Structure 1
Amino acid sequence: MVTMTKKTSPPPITARHVIRSSWKLLIVFSVLLCVLALYRFQSQQPDLYSPSSSSLSRARSRIARHSVSFAGPAKIAFLFLARRDVPLDFLWESFFENAGGALNFSIYIHSAPGFVFDESTTRSRFFHGRQLPNSIQVGWGESSMIEAERLLFATALEDPANQRFVLLSDSCVPLYNFSFIYNYLMTSRRSIVDSFLDVKEGRYNPKMSPVIPKAKWRKGSQWIALIRRHAEVLVDDEVILPVFKKFCRRRPPVDIRKGKLNLKLQKQHNCIPDEHYVQTLLAMSELDGELERRTLTYTLWSNSPNKTESKGWHPMTFNHANAAPQKIREIKGINHVYYETEFRTEWCRINSTVVPCFLFARKFSKGAAMRLLSEGVVGHFDTAALLKPSP
């Protein structure tokens, strides 16, 4: 026997069902919006797990803070930012040889990842093993440059004896002997940082606001000398660097192979991070008043074309011919710098005493460095030894 069942019709849709369904859709939509917002927030944050960030975090955890009492000879930390080796190592060998022992200085080198300073790669025993094991690949005009600087400062801060920190390029030379430079830096109670208002080049990106207001935007040489407390400010920063990484980037050079694409690329905002970061960070930290607002490193600039750009200011290289004693005396005789954007003359002083502006100079070729040595600028040295083949 076949049993017949009565087909039931669906219940009528009531206003309550409509409201309940609408609420469910609204909740789902809200959850999706929250997930999307969280994703966008995370994507805008610095990569906390990148090699440079994790290395910096480990170094930061080992820093002896300035509040910790320190007793003993204070050191200058010489921080070399190198492409690979240090070509002028033979000059620095003589410089550190005349330092009277290693109790008053330390050396740190950020080089290409994996590069090791030993008997086969450097003529100076002072550089042996001084490379950072956590170095990163660096590109000029990129944020990686300031990340490398921060790694140098963070590593040097691990030694509480380091009380002054000097950032140098691999083409820098000292203009005085160690004793003069040591006394000059240790006598100063201020950091020496080239810092001035940037009102002409338009490198400030309005998108940096409100984190970085335009009034705090600064420019200057990346070759700085910091006291310990300011070095800590530099490595502790977690606010300004992410903004720089996102909005301060170098405009790519013109490449004829890209054709019309160049027009689009040249409309990008142009910013060179290493010429603005430290200066802006210290201004944001209300530390302008604790600085000698100048650089210790002399650079001879030329407004001429280079290989990648049509025209602009570029550092000139000193060779054997133009590194004559008279030129070196002229550099050492400079005692003030004029900043036209601020109509300011910065007289070079240490604790109100007028001093030479520059302790170092760049960019020097090997021939120019040999001339400095032969004329006894940094100490006595037999330049004939440089003609001997490396072991």
Structure 2
Amino acid sequence: MKRRSSFQNRSHCQHKWKRRVLMVVLLGICVGSIFLIESSTYPNSMNLFMPLSNPFAQKPKIAFLFIARNRLPLDFVWDAFFQADKDKKFSVYVHSRPGFLFHKATTKSLFFLNRQVNNSVQVDWGEASMIQAERILLENALTDPANERFVFLSDSCIPLYNFSYTYDYIMSTSTSFVDSFADTKEGRYNPKMDPVIPVNNWRKGSQWVVLNRNHAEVVVKDETVFPVFQQHCKRKSLPEFWRDQPFSGDNSKEHNCIPDEHYVQTLLAQEGFKGEITRRSLTHTAWDIPSSIEHDRRGWHPVTYKFSDATSELLRSIKEIDNIYFETENRREWCSSKGKPSPCFLFARKFTRPAAIRLLNLSLLGT
């Protein structure tokens, strides 16, 4: 039997390779012809040759943005919450004091390891540094193109529902959830803000907002409203801050402006996005002391729930809230999701660590 020479073998392989390439080219021409005929004949029909969606493409994510003093005392609650998501449809960012690191000694949750932002600032309550921290969190979260919603949370917040319900609720609308109403009370708006911020754009609400990506980018890119807040929006000196700064004898002429209660609301109104927000926060905060709870409250801080307060009745009462009353507008708005009536709140604050431990042990969270 004669064997082919190496040259003949190479020629044979090259000939087979050329035939295969020609067949692929001809097949592509045929498919392209069918595509053109189908698209011209049936322009509104579904094309069978359209590429299928990539099943491995990153799903839209929610960025959870935590503002903390140091460590997160309720990280164990959020650890249980995040564990329920198997598709990694979330990301975590934490703003803590400069230099604080989330490692194995400061958090037991894998979801918070090394999730601190590295350009944090020292935050003081009632100062513009709070909204500076919010802008820093958004700036870091926007680097991930999969993040489409941005949720601000305090270190005392708990989730009221499981991850799946929370995700579907937040992603069900393209609007942002921003508690916002015209602030007509004298003393908060500083006339020195005019004309950069006219009084008709002055808004008030909760800092615990949920933003879509477009609005988050507006906050980060803002170079006009934020500097005015830094200069002219300052809290009034109160006796409870004596340790922080001297209390002046006459503070009647001071403007009592709490920056984080006004900034996002005013900025979005200023930029013409009033029609693109749902005017409520998704985080419940109790400013009225329930008759069954005795708290030592000072100043303007909301109710803090302790161990004895953490009951099924408390959570049920929060979950059953289905409407918001806008006192300044004498208007009541019923909460909805996907066009159907729904609870108003997904999160709640302020809970101490013992209170959260009790709720978790009673299996009252994440249901």
Q: Normalising by structure 1, what TM-score?
A: 0.74
Aligned partner of 1:83 in structure 2 is 69
User: Which residue identity does 1:369 align to in structure 2?
Assistant: A
SS at match of 1:361: strand
Measured in 2, the distance between the counterparts of 1:319 and 1:260 equals: 32
Among 297, 315, 334, the alignment partner of 1:347 is 334
Kindly report which structure 2 residues correspond to 1:187-202, keeping only aligned pairs within 5 A, or say none.
187-202=172-187
Is the contact between residue 159 and residue 366 of structure 2 (CA under 8 Å) also seen in structure 1? Answer: no
Decide whether aligned partners of structure 1 residues 343 and 123 sit closer, same or farther in structure 2, where only a CA change above 3 A counts: same
1:145 and 2:140 matched? no
Among 189, 198, 209, the alignment partner of 1:224 is 209
| Residues 218-255 of structure 1: CA deviation (Å, up to 9, x unaligned) | 00000000111110011111110111111101122237
Aligned partner of 2:151 in structure 1 is 166
Aligned partner of 1:178 in structure 2 is 163
Aligned partner of 2:261 in structure 1 is 275
User: Which residue identity does 1:144 align to in structure 2?
Assistant: S
Measured in 1, the distance between the counterparts of 2:244 and 2:134 equals: 33
Aligned partner of 1:105 in structure 2 is 90
Q: CA RMSD in A?
A: 2.3
Aligned partner of 1:370 in structure 2 is 357
Decide whether aligned partners of structure 1 residues 145 and 122 sit closer, same or farther in structure 2, where only a CA change above 3 A counts: same
SS at match of 1:147: helix
Aligned partner of 1:68 in structure 2 is none
Measured in 2, the distance between the counterparts of 1:79 and 1:119 equals: 20
Decide whether aligned partners of structure 1 residues 376 and 214 sit closer, same or farther in structure 2, where only a CA change above 3 A counts: same
Segments of 5+ residues of structure 1 without an aligned counterpart are 1-70, 381-391
Measured in 2, the distance between the counterparts of 1:117 and 1:196 equals: 37
1:92 and 2:78 matched? yes
Among 271, 275, 278, the alignment partner of 1:292 is 278
Is the contact between residue 97 and residue 120 of structure 2 (CA under 8 Å) also seen in structure 1? Answer: yes
Aligned partner of 1:133 in structure 2 is 118
Aligned partner of 1:213 in structure 2 is 198
Decide whether aligned partners of structure 1 residues 375 and 143 sit closer, same or farther in structure 2, where only a CA change above 3 A counts: same
User: Which residue identity does 2:354 align to in structure 1?
Assistant: G
Deviation of the 1:259 alpha carbon:
12
Instruction: Tell me the percent identity.
Output: 55
Decide whether aligned partners of structure 1 residues 148 and 325 sit closer, same or farther in structure 2, where only a CA change above 3 A counts: same
SS at match of 2:207: coil
Measured in 2, the distance between the counterparts of 1:230 and 1:244 equals: 18
Deviation of the 1:288 alpha carbon:
1.1
Aligned partner of 1:356 in structure 2 is 343
Measured in 2, the distance between the counterparts of 1:260 and 1:117 equals: 35
Kindly report which structure 2 residues correspond to 1:18-37, keeping only aligned pairs within 5 A, or say none.
none
Q: Select between 298-307 and 156-165 the one with higher mean Cα deviation.
A: 298-307
Aligned residues: 306
Decide whether aligned partners of structure 1 residues 122 and 259 sit closer, same or farther in structure 2, where only a CA change above 3 A counts: closer
| Residues 61-117 of structure 1: CA deviation (Å, up to 9, x unaligned) | xxxxxxxxxx5311100000001110001111111111224x200000000000000
Among 237, 240, 246, the alignment partner of 2:231 is 246
